[in-house]
Chains A and B, each alone.
Chain A
Amino acid sequence: MFVIVNGQTHSLTEPQTLGALLRLLSPAAPFAVARNREVVQRGAYEECRIEPGDTIDIIHPAAGG
């Protein structure tokens, strides 16, 4: 199945949880994640099932004014 992660299409071999996807991608800490524009709490990554076509945003701190 395909999901969109930070605007890029990713192919996943099987349905999986957000926790599994994050282990695969290894984003640098600190980060926060949204699935289909809804924030996923840190403690809920393993329960969050990713569906085909989901949009995942992984964000981190950046400079700002």
Chain B
Amino acid sequence: MEGRQSDDQLELYGRTFSSRLLLGTARYASPAVLADAIRAADPAMLTLSLRRQVLGSSHSGESFWDLVKETGGTILPNTAGCCTASEAVSTACMARELFQTDLIKLEVIGDETNLQPDPYGLVEAAAELVRRGFQVLPYCTEDWVLCRRLMDAGCEVLMPWAAPIGTGQGPRNPRGLRELRERAPKVRLIVDAGIGLPSHACEVMEWGFDGVLVNTAVSCALDAVKMAAAFANGVRAGRAAFLAGPMIPRDAGVPSTPEIGRPFASASLRLSMDHGTDTSSFH
């Protein structure tokens, strides 16, 4: 959670976090499972939405809100379901009033089938929200020009998808994501949608992404709590590997064991000759 001391912290809009995992709060089997999953994931932020209250209903959302508050986690409201810039700006303003935070995960959906962001509406909404003092985290694709426009609009953090929301496919365009990371080394990049496995999260963290947001991959696992812990480990492992500096892949095999002083060298050479790999000794 926010403010905990560690050597390597995630910094987003002036807030620091020891965790690089962001967790969604939707589609859990029960509030108790959600609470346990939050504890297991130890996320930097929790994403929430806002919906019309069913007046007079006992399902008012109070218990859900109490549960989230008790975790002490930083709230990241979203504009999920918005399809125009105008809707997204209105929803963000409502979120700020409700949650008393300037943070907003900006979603402007452009396609109902794959829930792809609408790049035009996204940039328009981001610019307006930044002008109004919001700290905007836009859900976007890995498209470089779109990301550049969002940065130009004042976004310090981008949330490129790995794959369409809720698919769990993992990174569909690894090359594009890695190019984005290379071309925008200073902007914070949180991989948002489409992550299905801890290995996906680990992989993008190895590429140097700053964090990962998951929801469905955790909440729809057979054991959401164990999966939440697995994602926390995956993100930590990937980050540690990135910081450690991975080796550069090679085309040919290179023995890891030193050659000098190897016993039975002649027998090994004969074996090599039998397989025709050493032609220099035939003649």
Q: Which residues of A contact B (CB under 8 A)?
A: 5-7, 25-32, 34, 37-39, 41-42, 57-65
In the complex, chain A residues whose CB is within 8 Å of the CB of B213: 65
Query: How far does the Cβ of B196 sit from chain A's closest Cβ, in whole Å?
Result: 14
Main secondary structure of the interface of B (DSSP, over half): mixed
CA distance A5 to B78 in the complex (A): 22
Q: Say whether A60 contacts B65, CB under 8 Å.
A: yes
- Besides A30-B98, A60-B51, A63-B34, 18 more A-B contacts (Cβ < 8 Å) are A6-B55, A7-B52, A27-B55, A37-B90, A38-B90, A38-B93, A39-B90, A58-B55, A59-B51, A59-B53, A60-B50, A60-B98, A61-B50, A62-B49, A62-B51, A62-B64, A63-B49, A65-B213
Output the residue of A7, A58, A62 with the most chain B CB within 10 A.
Answer: A62
User: Do the beta carbons of B52 and A29 come within 8 Å of each other?
Assistant: no
Identify the closest chain A residue to B77 (Cβ).
A64
The answer, yes or no, to whether B97 is at the interface (CB within 8 Å) is yes
Q: Known: A28-B60, A60-B65. Contact between A6 and B47, CB under 8 A?
A: no
B50 touches A62 (CB 8 A): yes
Interface contact B48-A29, CB-CB below 8 Å: no
For the complex of A and B, the 9 pairs showing the least CB-CB separation, nearest first, are: A64-B49, A65-B24, A65-B215, A28-B60, A32-B98, A63-B26, A62-B51, A32-B97, A6-B52
Q: How far is the CB of A33 from chain B (nearest CB, A)?
A: 8
Chain A residues whose CB sits within 8 angstroms of the CB of B68 once the complex forms: 61
Q: Taking CB as reference atom, which chain A residue is nearest B49? A: A64
Residues of chain A with a CB closer than 8 A to B49's CB: 61-65
Q: Which bracket fits the contact residues of B?
A: 35 or more
Bound state CA distance, A59 and B178, in angstroms?
A: 39
A41-B97, A61-B99 known; A6 vs B64 contact (CB < 8 Å): no
Cβ contacts under 8 Å, A28 to chain B: 53, 60-62
Point out the residue from A7, A42, A59, A64 that lies within 8 Å of B94, measured CB to CB.
Answer: A59
Q: How far is the CA of A58 from the CA of B98 in the complex (A)?
A: 10
- Given A5-B55, A28-B60, are A65 and B216 neighbors across the interface (CB < 8 Å)? yes
Give the chain A neighbours of B215 by CB distance below 8 A: 65
Residue B165 is within 8 A (CB to CB) of chain A in the complex: yes
Which chain B positions have C-beta within 8 A of A57? 52, 94
- Bound-state CA distance A17–B80 (Å) is 30
Q: Is the CB of A27 within 8 A of B53?
A: yes
